[in-house]
Amino acid sequence: MKYKSYHANIILNGISIYNLGYPLEETRNQIAKRFKIKIPSSTIHSWIRKYRNICRYSDLREEGRKLYAPEKIIFSKEFEHKQTYKFQYHKAKLDMKLQYGDQKKLQLFKEYLEWIAQKRESCPGTKNKRPFPHHIFTQKNEELKQRASQIKMEGFAPIKVTKNNLANSLAEYGLKLARTNYGRHEKVQDFMLVNDSVTVAAEVPVYLTNDDIKYFKERGFQFNFDKCNTPITGHIDLLQIRNNLIYILDYKPKARKEKPFEQLVVYALALGSRTKLAIKDFKCAWFDEKNYYEFFPLHMVYKSRKD
């Protein structure tokens, strides 16, 4: 029987199981247990070949298997930040990126993710030992904080850049796994984290304090927040490492109608503050299965003295 005879849900789950690092035979067994169907290993292998151009982690899979067992390759922990957020990062991809990329930059980035996971006592680049402040994500807006998605900036004139991107196809496949509209975000995140070669983390909490805002403004950054409380908090849908940049991605079901510039700029400022990375090291994007838009956050909030 050819792979086209199988439901997309079975095919895509099979590819994800395999890319976690399970051997073909174990992948076959897990599919049989989950879907009550026996599929030849050769058929599963044909799925992997067919989707290889989109699910590019398959090219890194063997190296990842040497680093972590399949059940330990992704760190996952749920946090109750008013609602449940499933924070995740791909340990093997992070280690591989660290090995071949800018070690100083990526080490700070990795330390931030580990700080959220409470595997480190302090924020990267600091000696002040304190746990990640999860409590600020749980208090009432009027008492302490405002969400990044609610922020509006005065005099903000961004430029939207449209591109074709692999994220569109990955989102399309992830959506095929969602049983309800409510589950779309999580399925897209899960599928990209397992199968994409550059997606390294999902649902990453960030926050921007008044001191952070003051710091940026003292260094020439130009932005005005309209009646916002601090700290400003948010959760980044997806983080990628590619072209020596850290990409901040937001999945928007109707991306063409959205303009989340302020939200993504706040994410970049917040992540830069916590990781001690320069804003020039970040790029922001939002997407769905059909559209993808990206821009440099630095261009939105900073003008050199020569301008």
Range of lowest pLDDT (147-151, 183-187, 282-286): 147-151
**Which DSSP state fits 153?**
B
What average pLDDT does the segment 18-42 reach?
A: 96
What average pLDDT does the segment 98-117 reach?
A: 91
pLDDT digits (tens, 9 = 90+) for 69-97: 999 999 999 999 888 999 999 999 999 99
Reported as type and span, the H/E element at residue 193 is helix 184-195
Residues 46 and 74 in one domain: no
- Residue 212 falls inside a structural domain: yes
* CB 151 within 8 Å of CB 266: yes
- Residue 306 falls inside a structural domain: no
Peptide bond into 231 cis (omega under 30): yes
- Residue 205 falls inside a structural domain: yes
Sorting pLDDT into bands at 50, 70 and 90, what band is 182? confident
Residues 82 and 137 in one domain: yes
Range of lowest pLDDT (20-24, 63-67, 125-129, 153-157): 153-157
Q: What is the pLDDT of residue 148?
A: 56
Residues 153 and 259 in one domain: yes
Residues 37 and 77 in one domain: no
Share of the chain above pLDDT 90, in %: 66
pLDDT beyond 70 at 269: yes
Residues 22 and 124 in one domain: no
Residues 171 and 35 in one domain: no
Residues 32 and 91 in one domain: no
Residue 134: give the domain boundaries. 70-301
- Residue 179 falls inside a structural domain: yes
- Residue 220 falls inside a structural domain: yes
Total number of domains in the chain: 2
Share of the chain above pLDDT 70, in %: 88
- Residue 64 falls inside a structural domain: no
Mean pLDDT of the chain: 88
pLDDT beyond 70 at 239: yes
More confident of the two residues 195 and 303: 195
Sorting pLDDT into bands at 50, 70 and 90, what band is 225? low
- Residue 307 falls inside a structural domain: no
What average pLDDT does the segment 163-178 reach?
A: 93
pLDDT beyond 60 at 180: yes
* CB 246 within 8 Å of CB 240: yes
* Exposure string over 217-247, b if 16+ CB within 10 A, otherwise e: eeeebebebeebebbbbbbbbbbbbbeeebb
The amino acid at 130? R
- Residue 63 falls inside a structural domain: no
What average pLDDT does the segment 271-285 reach?
A: 95
Q: What is the pLDDT of residue 143?
A: 47
Q: What is the pLDDT of residue 147?
A: 61
Q: What is the pLDDT of residue 307?
A: 39
Classify 282 as helix, strand or coil. strand
Residues 162 and 28 in one domain: no
Residues 16 and 160 in one domain: no
* CB 118 within 8 Å of CB 130: no
pLDDT digits (tens, 9 = 90+) for 108-147: 999 999 999 988 888 887 777 788 999 999 876 554 445 6
Cα–Cα dist 295/238, whole Å: 16
Residues 141 and 276 in one domain: yes
Sorting pLDDT into bands at 50, 70 and 90, what band is 62? very high
Q: What is the pLDDT of residue 109?
A: 95
Q: Where are the beta strands (DSSP E) in the chain?
A: 74-81, 83-90, 146-147, 161-162, 199-208, 232-242, 245-251, 282-287, 292-295
Residues 31 and 133 in one domain: no
* CB 136 within 8 Å of CB 225: no
Residues 121 and 227 in one domain: yes
Range of lowest pLDDT (21-25, 98-102, 141-145): 141-145
pLDDT beyond 60 at 24: yes
Question: Which two three-digit tokens encode residue 201?
Answer: 């983390």
Q: What is the pLDDT of residue 101?
A: 75
37 CB burial (10 A radius; 0-12, 13-18, 19+): exposed
